[in-house]
Structure 1
């Protein structure tokens, strides 16, 4: 009898996946084509441009957003979809965008934040204000970055009050008056047409409650009104296709009805906004890890060293195997976080934050090892892996520095054990 060889395993674009519906596969393949044909070329072009030119009205940055609108994967794509299926659909779409270019992927996600908030509010005026416009999410300030992530008074230094920051709102009658500046890390900040502000607020009796927690608000603000100005876009080590920079507010006045979260419902909506952002960053890390892994696989199957392909050397196979396991683990963690956040009766942004930190830290290990397999040529601009390493490094800090996010998750778990008896034997 002849020798029977085992069949190669079934894989999808995203690796060791199975059970996709035809609709899911069609959507994934469509976004993948867009990522390959539009995002990668434009991302590489923008990466090499000085920031003063990269986001000008006639730049490739706007070509990306015009083509993205044609793709039809905006906020409404999950409408009517069961929560578990919506989480998987989200993972397929956002991971493919991350595979294409992480900077442009974040620009796309941040660009939707105001209109997502407008849809959630149900206010037609706000929906119309945001429709067809590029948005941003202004949630950090020069002196209030990670402070904005604190949800519990016990996490602050004893006796201290929550940080108000230098961008804040005052509610006066039927108006909201906004003063100060955002941080330079607001994605799309220098070019956005509308903003979702996530800032401290004074409702007439100060900025703090009796425990020293900061009152806050979410306000949708058009950025073409009097009192709004911008800083210059940052020159950065990585994610250069993503415009980031300050927004300044000088006695900017908007109607009170532009607020989509105020004193009572702000804490829950603030938490869910961070959870949504952290989930998206986990999916984007999934795509970047896979992109670097695929580049490394192709290279080791072409590069001859010592008379043999690198891919035929056992050490290379070990390294590629360890990388591949991480790629799959990152994907699974990101999907788990997305599913839990969508279907849990009580999700929590600190768990989502742990997913972001895990996926991004493991992703960096994969990208760094991928470049190492390229050797010296990986350090040159002739190969795209060096750009991916710079992008990956930026993501270790963006949307919450990883150590800080693990710290929040650790705080949550110690309190669950102490006060809810979770994990007590």
Structure 2
């Protein structure tokens, strides 16, 4: 209770200084938070300590997670009937709580829904049925085609260079598509997915390049049990070890042409749409992981004595808590802003989405490092979960586009808006 003339403390919720959530939003947030705490955190810790070759075998905790999250009904169909602004808010609430639980498992869930998301956008019932009940992946990166695959405009390429056609290519022949090559080892769910959304270059009969040296592209939904498809081993890596990543190989794999949901005439627009919508999730994931690290540090400084008092009683600690707490709120705000623009703007753009990913993930890294620093030496031990969050956060600096490359894309967009639309002239 507050004494007379004392200002009462503010009312805060699960995710901090949030207000104005509807009853439905609060109910979803609370349900997902319980799932994140009771299911995701224990499974994420268990998978983090397992060898990758064992972590994703049938019957492992990874598959238990996917079975249980399916029962929650959080897939693309759950958002399908909501107005865009409400969908943006709900998406943020869900993904932030999932990442608060475990960022690797949250990414697996999000990437797993990509084929279904694009199948629904295509309106083709055959493709929707093909994705139903199957764990998906979004295969866009290859061994020598990573962040450069995100270049949308010719002037961004190195002068005189062509677009990168990469290691995985589609050839359109009559009513069939023939696929050859391999994905990179960094495709989320790539080691275990049952259906893929391929985002790759294509030859429609005149080669892979247009007159300006840019590649033709396509989006294809491909079941991954077809003849000619094989897998590499799940990757052993530093962070996000609960997320199975690995190569997929295609040797003259044939699918019907109707499995393509974006081809020569509409690929660029649909590619941009898919990237813009997928990229918002990375901002929400950063918000959730940042909050998890901050909350661990906040609890620890109220348990640990140093210099004759609790750490939390020292002004320097309070100053540091204030700094990382402000960053957590800024990350949340940026993530929601990007999601709202992407869902509601007349013409969303992936380079603006990229700015959100780069900002939120860079600031998240600062939050997690400073949170670990407040633990002192204990933060480095595997007894406490904070060191895992640091490893997961490091992986997210590169995942879904390396942050500096994405920031450069955003700078290019701002320049073009100024030159072509007059943005910033007044």
State if a TM-score over 0.5 links the two structures: yes
Structure 1 residue 209: Cα displacement: 1.3
- SS of match in other structure, 1:283: helix
Structure 1 residue 4: Cα displacement: 2.2
Structure 1 residue 417: Cα displacement: 1.1
Specify the alignment match of 1:330 in structure 2.
Answer: 331
Specify the alignment match of 1:389 in structure 2.
Answer: 390
Does 2:31 correspond to 1:24?
no
- SS of match in other structure, 1:189: coil
Structure 1 residue 125: Cα displacement: 1.1
Specify the alignment match of 1:316 in structure 2.
Answer: 317
Specify the alignment match of 2:421 in structure 1.
Answer: 420
The correspondence of residues 186-197 of structure 1 with structure 2, limited to 5 A, is 186-197=187-198
Structure 2: distance between partners of 1:155 and 1:129? 37
Structure 1: distance between partners of 2:71 and 2:243? 20
Specify the alignment match of 1:210 in structure 2.
Answer: 211
Structure 1: distance between partners of 2:40 and 2:296? 16
Structure 1 residue 222: Cα displacement: 0.5
Structure 1 residue 3: Cα displacement: 3.1
Does 2:408 correspond to 1:407?
yes
- SS of match in other structure, 1:249: strand
Deviations 1:349-376 (A, max 9, x none): 0010010000000001000000000000
The correspondence of residues 8-407 of structure 1 with structure 2, limited to 5 A, is 8-407=9-408
Structure 2: distance between partners of 1:78 and 1:223? 26
Structure 1 residue 169: Cα displacement: 0.2
Structure 1 residue 276: Cα displacement: 1.6
Moved more, 358-367 or 412-421: 412-421
Structure 1 residue 146: Cα displacement: 1.0
Deviations 1:91-124 (A, max 9, x none): 0000000100000000000100111111111111
Moved more, 122-131 or 89-98: 122-131
2:118–2:274 Cα contact (<8 Å) kept: no
Alignment: residue pair count = 424
Structure 2: distance between partners of 1:242 and 1:76? 23
Structure 1 residue 421: Cα displacement: 1.4
- SS of match in other structure, 1:254: strand
Does 2:8 correspond to 1:7?
yes
Structure 1 residue 166: Cα displacement: 1.1
Structure 2: distance between partners of 1:158 and 1:303? 57
Deviations 1:215-250 (A, max 9, x none): 000000000010000001110100000000000000
2:33–2:98 Cα contact (<8 Å) kept: yes
Structure 2: distance between partners of 1:294 and 1:47? 20
CA RMSD of aligned residues (A): 0.8
Deviations 1:116-141 (A, max 9, x none): 11111111111111100000000010
Structure 2: distance between partners of 1:94 and 1:3? 41
2:47–2:61 Cα contact (<8 Å) kept: yes
Q: TM-score, normalised by structure 1?
A: 0.99
Structure 1 residue 79: Cα displacement: 2.2
Structure 2: distance between partners of 1:88 and 1:333? 12
Structure 1: distance between partners of 2:361 and 2:330? 12
Deviations 1:310-357 (A, max 9, x none): 001000000000000000000000000000000100111001001000
Structure 2: distance between partners of 1:208 and 1:344? 31
Structure 1: distance between partners of 2:158 and 2:284? 33
Structure 2: distance between partners of 1:93 and 1:356? 17
Structure 1: distance between partners of 2:80 and 2:231? 35
Structure 1 residue 398: Cα displacement: 0.5
Q: TM-score, normalised by structure 2?
A: 0.99
Structure 2: distance between partners of 1:72 and 1:124? 20
Structure 1 residue 419: Cα displacement: 2.1
Structure 2: distance between partners of 1:260 and 1:3? 65
- SS of match in other structure, 2:212: coil
